[in-house]
Amino acid sequence: MQNNKPSSLPFISIVCPCYNEEEVIEHFLKSITPILTKSEKSYEIIFIDDGSKDNTLNVLLEAKQNHENIRVIKLSRNFGKEKALTAGIDLSLGETVVPIDVDLQDPPELILDFIKKYEEGYDVVLAKRVDRTTDTYAKKFSAEAFYKFHNKISDISIPNNVGDYRLMSRKVVEQIKKLPESQRFMKGIFAWVGFQTVTVEYKREARVAGETSFNGWKLWNFALDGITSFSTVPLRIWLYVGVILASLSFVYGSIIIIKTLIFGIDSPGYASLLTTVLFLGGVQLMGIGILGEYIGRIYTETKNRPIYIIENEY
């Protein structure tokens, strides 16, 4: 493994997870480099190649030949964005750290505002999207529903319309590095550590090139990770469901007994019985499914595997 860490520690570390992003890397560097130069702060740009299947790694290595501030981390396979982001944060050296996607939907110009807020004494500067017109209706609706649902059932509140794009001080980063869970939901982890926080607003743009690797199924699993990582309410709900169903069954059973004692034994049809059995079976399977989600995460955590594996650093 090559060691290409800068001789002196930079002021800011830009952390960029990449998966099949060969088309946008050049655009990204042309946009962010002048801004970092304008800040008059020392910097490093850490690209994490998360097992890309296209020419991303070669594009990054070529870019590194022209930019001495670039570090390229190649993971041994695709671990997913959350774990690639973790790798970049773990390896960052800057006094401040800014995670950002290379698709330029999050404007690099905000970094200058981040720095100003940091110098005012804030440890975390959040970037909040105030305009999501570039997103589809389904994505906007699902995102809003997720934030509302998560924040109602979790002790940790995640700011609405705030992604990974933010500035964090070294103090915050060192605390994040202490969190060992392998099931990473970074928005929740960022919120969990706390610290003095301020928000700046911006309008999100469309991707400059390429296509997002997130689809509906991945977003659904991502939402499940977020809910089960920071709340046990889904487990607790089934206690109340069980109590309600048991109470209703007791009442219904009592009514049947009373009717039998007063009017004698009747012969009810099987439709209501079959409906009741199928309903209770469905409820039980849903409860087992929720329980299985948590047991699966316990199983994953107890194996204590590394969060990511670095194949090489350039």
Instruction: Render pLDDT for 162-202 as a digit per residue (tens, 0 to 9).
Output: 888 889 999 999 998 988 887 788 888 888 888 888 988 88
Same domain, 194 and 293: no
**What's the whole-number mean pLDDT along residues 75-101?**
90
What percent of the chain stands above pLDDT 70?
71
Q: Are residues 22 and 53 in the same domain?
A: yes
Query: Is the predicted pLDDT of residue 84 greater than 80, yes or no?
Result: yes
User: Domain total for the chain?
Assistant: 2
Residue 164 covered by a domain:
yes
- Mean pLDDT along residues 104-130: 89
Q: Is the dihedral of CA 52, 53, 59, 61 positive or negative?
A: positive
- Per 3-state DSSP, what percentage of the chain is helix, strand, and coil (rounded to 5)? 50, 15, 35
Pair 254, 203 in one domain:
no
Q: Are strands 12-18 and 43-49 parallel, antiparallel or unpaired?
A: parallel
pLDDT digits (tens, 9 = 90+) for 200-255: 888 776 555 545 555 555 666 666 665 666 666 776 676 677 777 767 766 766 77
Alpha-carbon distances, residue 150 vs 132, 143, 157 (angstroms): 20, 10, 8
Residue 108 inside a domain? The answer is yes
Pair (257, 121) in one structural domain:
no
Which residue has better confidence, 135 or 110?
Answer: 110
Stronger pLDDT, 117 or 288, i.e. the higher one = 117
- Provide mean pLDDT across the span 64-88: 89
Percent of the chain topping pLDDT 90:
16
User: Residue 86 maps to which CATH number?
Assistant: 3.90.550.10
What is the rounded average pLDDT for all residues in the chain? 79
Residues 18 and 109 in one domain: yes
pLDDT at 255: 72
Last residue within a domain, chosen from 215, 249, 274: 215
pLDDT of residue 88: 92
| Residue range 120-132: mean pLDDT, rounded | 84
User: Per residue in 29-69, pLDDT tens?
Assistant: 988 999 998 888 899 999 999 888 888 888 898 888 888 88
Among 257-261, 297-301, 309-313, the range scoring the smallest mean pLDDT is: 257-261
**For residue 298, what are the domain limits?**
233-302
pLDDT at 304 over 70: yes
Q: What does the block give as tokens for 247?
A: 């109470």
Burial of 178 (0-12, 13-18, 19+ CB in 10 A): exposed
